Amino acid sequence: MMSERGIIYFVNGEVQPEAVAELYRSSGIRRPYEDLARIEKMLTNANLTITAWDRERLVGIARSVTDFSYCCYLSDLAVDQGYQKRGIGKELIQQVKNQLSDEVALILLSAPGAMSYYPLVGFNKAENAWIVPRKG
């Protein structure tokens, strides 16, 4: 647990699918927030989740899958729109990095609207990535 400007961060803390679904909806990130069973599976199968809380309210999440040795895929970075531009996303990324050694690459796929954000928080653009898109 770490506190920054009244926001408290938890590493792999308990979080309910309903709270995450509401956060996804309020953040603007495109996720299946109406499918709580799928959100629950997304949380259960992620092995590194950092959450940001304003008292009892979930205001941010960084959800990752990693081997803690070579790579970490940051699948979700979401901050409630009412809390954006306060450094919460940047701190969520830092908290993820704090759990990893320098030998681990941090990888993510950006939404088109966030492409200009990631260079500001230390990411380099990769030209050598490929994807097989999901079908649902």
Alpha carbons within 13 A on the beta-carbon side of 108: 24
Rounded to two decimals, the pTM is 0.89
Say if residue 121's pLDDT is above 70: yes
Q: What is the pLDDT of residue 54?
A: 95
Q: What is the pLDDT of residue 76?
A: 93
Torsion of the alpha carbons at 63, 90, 97 and 52, rounded to the nearest 10: -50
- What are the structural domains, with CATH classification, of the chain? 2-121 (3.40.630.30)
Who's near 46: CB < 8 A, 6+ residues apart? 63, 64, 65, 75
Residue 112 banded pLDDT, cuts 50, 70, 90: confident
- 121 or 104, which is more confident: 104
**Amino acid in position 42:** M
Mean pLDDT on 86-106: 96
Range from 18-22, 26-30, 46-50 carrying the lowest mean pLDDT: 26-30
Q: What is the pLDDT of residue 115?
A: 83
| Residue 36 burial (C-beta neighbours within 10 Å; 0-12, 13-18, 19+) | middle
Mean pLDDT of the chain, nearest integer: 91
Give, in degrees to the nearest 5, the angle at Cα 31 between 28 and 37.
135
For the chain, give the percent of residues with pLDDT over 70. 96
Say if residue 57's pLDDT is above 90: yes
Q: What is the pLDDT of residue 50?
A: 98
